[in-house]
Amino acid sequence: MSRSSHPDPFAELRAERGVYDIDDQNDPVKMVLRLKDVRKCAHNWKQYSSEATPGRIVVPSEVDIRNTRQIPFELDPPLHGDFRALLDPWFKRPSQAHYQQRLRHIIVAQLESVQLKSTFDCIRDFSLPLQSRALTVLMNVPADEAETFISWGTHVFRSENDPLDAGKAEQLYAYIDQKIDEKIAQPGDDLFSLLLNAKVAGKQISKEEIKGIIILTFAGGRDTVINMVTNTLAYLAEHPESLERLRAEPEIRGRAIEELIRYFSPLTHMGRVAREDAQVCEHAVAQDSRISLCWASANRDASVFEHPDEVILDRKLNPHVAFGFAHHNCLGATHARTLMQLLLDVVCERVQRIDFIDAQENIEEWGELRRKVGYHNLQLSLQVNS
């Protein structure tokens, strides 16, 4: 197995049982493993709610470390839809040409900052600053605020040695409060100002709701985007033939991105809370207990994806659920896809070869199972076109 591969720990359980029971801080979770069941449960918000105690649908649970409800992902219809109607147009801006020019500029500059080093750490020197700078474009705040975001590290709620560090988010909350005050005094063309002036379901949005939206904007696309960028470069380093193919066939880049997103599935799963006694593929789910929709497992379901453990760059049929499914599909998906498309374009134009020097893997533990999500660090070196 190569160093850039991501094995699927769920294969056996998915085929045999369809679910996997794990404990999480004494609040058990039944992980749903098959694509068909994941989709069914994702649709069925009347039975499986997202609007539980804030933090409870996240696994590991964040109920002990935050009180703010993240919006819209911790809401059910119809209120969920009212917030999406407000937010969707803003989060579709990455389709616009001038947005893409700004992102491209950021990617080129980031690449230029590492290309002359003999080796660099892909996360610290590339993916983290890239994600942070791209986020200033998504929120349309000044570019230099990225330096603050970079200083927070790769996860907004999790520190290096404590995955549930309640103090960690204080810096983000302080930034948000300060930004809200600043934008009340001086509105502009940014996400904060949009929210401060918006009504949802006929009511002015509260500061607490704005905070919930911004926290999700930071948290949802943080480690996920960083892992996606890092894992992609690791993959291209170990597969020079794929880099050559993407260079020669720009028309398959879009499909290749979907395939890499399927294969890496940066977000392993997302929970729901059962409103009533229910059943998932013949296994009982008790009222008020948790299930999780395991995107990572569903994306390797051999009954849907041929050769699910292989990266097939131009895979034709690819109904993956890496961005979630149904009404809760990822709000930041257009931004993430655009970033990946521009990254592949720039790498194909400028990078001749990537060398994988060394890495320390980032492994999640779910019950007895271990799942690689990315790397704690990844040393690479680049050979650029002269």
The C-alpha angle 337, 131, 348, rounded to 5 degrees, equals 55
Burial class (CB in 10 A: 0-12, 13-18, 19+), 95: exposed
What's the CA gap between 373 and 377, in Å, rounded? 12
Site for ligand EMZ, rule CB under 6 A: 58, 62, 70, 73, 157, 216, 219-220, 223, 267
- Residue of 4, 1, 8, 2 lying closest to 268 (CA atoms): 8
Residues 6+ apart with CB under 8 A from 142: 136
What is the nearest approach in angstroms of ligand EMZ to the Cβ of residue 19? Answer: 21
What is the nearest approach in angstroms of ligand EMZ to the Cβ of residue 111? Answer: 26
Q: Which is nearer to ligand EMZ, 18 or 94 (CB)?
A: 94
DSSP 3-state of 95 = helix
What is the nearest approach in angstroms of ligand EMZ to the Cβ of residue 373? Answer: 11
By beta carbon distance, the residue nearest ligand EMZ is: 219
Phi and psi, residue 193, nearest 5°: -65, -40
Q: Which is nearer to ligand EMZ, 24 or 244 (CB)?
A: 24
What is the nearest approach in angstroms of ligand EMZ to the Cβ of residue 118? Answer: 33
Phi-psi region of 198 (alpha: psi -120 to 50; beta: other; left: phi over 0): beta
Q: Which is nearer to ligand EMZ, 42 or 267 (CB)?
A: 267
What is the nearest approach in angstroms of ligand EMZ to the Cβ of residue 65? Answer: 9
What is the nearest approach in angstroms of ligand EMZ to the Cβ of residue 155? Answer: 7
Q: Which is nearer to ligand EMZ, 62 or 259 (CB)?
A: 62
Q: Which is nearer to ligand EMZ, 294 or 313 (CB)?
A: 294
Q: Which is nearer to ligand EMZ, 73 or 356 (CB)?
A: 73
Q: Which is nearer to ligand EMZ, 236 or 296 (CB)?
A: 296
Which residues are paired to 120 by β-bridges? Answer: 380
What is the nearest approach in angstroms of ligand EMZ to the Cβ of residue 222? Answer: 6
What's the CA gap between 152 and 167, in Å, rounded? 12
